[in-house]
Amino acid sequence: MIPVIDLGGTRTKFGLVDKGVVVEAAYCEARSKGSIATHLEEVADLIADLLAQRGLGFSDCAGIGVSSTGIVDSVGASVLTTNGKYDNAVGFDFADWARRRTGLPLRIENDARAALIGEWRYGAGRGVDDVFMITLGTGVGTAAVVGGRPLAGPFFAGGNLGGHIIVKSGGRLCTCGARGCLETEASGWVLPTLIADHPLHHTSALRSIHNPSFKEVIEASDAGDACAKEILAHCLQVWGEAIVSFIHLLGPVRVIVGGGLMNAADRVLPAFRNTIAELAWGALKKVEIVAGEHPDNAGLIGAAALFYDIEH
């Protein structure tokens, strides 16, 4: 049994995983602007309650796995850089905290890479040693497995900054400081701006929705809303073209798409397949593109897999 923590920007997910099976999972409010130490203590108490309900304690577990935003040094068990979330996690000694609080060894990984590891070992990536994953949500998360090993590189950023590839020269200012990043053209956080800037905004049902989601854009599009139709088509095209670029760069056998957008996989994946068939080079047109099997729990499963399935 592995207790696991997935440090999100809005909510933190935690639970218990046993070799790819989520035994228990729950959420609590994230404290991404506050003290990481205080937040981890809160989550540890909640995990202790989950264990106690099963007649267990931390001493019955093999270790504790953590999935975190930011660039993560999985060897040194530290967060190297962040982008407005858990900024004081940089330099925090996660392993020392885990030993003192739980008596367990700790392993930590970037959240997008952890989600891919979960899908690769126990989900949509099983049986493939070259796989790329893109998670479409508030932002855009990416990770890759190349030749049977998660891509990280000497700076631990390999594969993780796909949301910040520049797709429009001189485009919108991104939270990372660059302009024209993929996230500034198509992501959950920029969606209100895309709607407000659209010339048909004043005629759209979306104008009255506070903090609209892609679910609402899809619903409005299906209802014939011209603004929603054009925004959805724009985002699908931008994402699809980015996926082609990642395919050209990494040469995966399979692409996994995760995130809340996969609740509309029947609308999204065919659009991506069409773009790949149109734009990808040669045999790369045949790369599989599939929905993740664990849209809610891939990060938890991957954090636990750091103990069973990943070399350290």
Tell me the mean pLDDT per 10 residues along the chain, length 312: 92 95 95 90 97 97 96 96 90 96 97 97 97 95 97 96 96 95 96 96 92 94 96 98 98 96 94 98 98 95 90 59
268 shares a domain with 187: yes
171 shares a domain with 80: no
How many Å apart are CA 226 and CA 223, to the nearest integer? 9
247 shares a domain with 139: yes
Q: How far is CA 9 from the centre of its chain?
A: 11
Contact 203, 223 (CB under 8 A): no
Q: Is residue 121 part of a domain?
A: no
Task: State pLDDT tens for residues 214-267.
Answer: 999 999 999 999 999 999 999 999 999 999 999 999 999 999 999 989 999 999
Own/partner contacts of 32-39, CB < 8 Å, gap of 24 or more, are: 32/7, 32/8, 32/69, 32/84, 32/85, 32/86, 33/85, 35/88, 36/86, 36/88, 36/89, 36/92, 37/92, 37/97, 39/7, 39/12
How many Å apart are CA 1 and CA 17, to the nearest integer? 6
Q: Is residue 189 part of a domain?
A: yes
Cα distances (Å, whole numbers) of residue 145 to 16, 130, 251, 299: 25, 5, 10, 15
202 shares a domain with 282: yes
Other Cβ atoms less than 10 A from the Cβ of 28: the count is 14
Task: State pLDDT tens for residues 19-33.
Answer: 899 999 999 998 888
CB crowding 158-197: b at 16 or more within 10 Å, else e? bbbbbbbbebeeeebebbeeeebbbbbbbbbbbbeebbee
Amino acid at 14: F
Per the structure, the complete domain to which residue 48 belongs is given by 2-116+297-308
Contact 176, 184 (CB under 8 A): no
CATH of the domain at 268: 3.30.420.40
Q: Is residue 197 part of a domain?
A: yes
pTM value? 0.94
Task: State pLDDT tens for residues 173-185.
Answer: 999 999 999 999 9
100 shares a domain with 72: yes
Q: Is residue 207 part of a domain?
A: yes
218 shares a domain with 172: yes
Q: Is residue 57 part of a domain?
A: yes
148 shares a domain with 64: no
260 shares a domain with 275: yes
Q: Is residue 16 part of a domain?
A: yes
Number of domains the chain is built from: 2
144 shares a domain with 84: no
End-to-end CA distance of the chain: 19
151 shares a domain with 25: no
149 shares a domain with 81: no
140 shares a domain with 71: no
Q: Is residue 122 part of a domain?
A: no
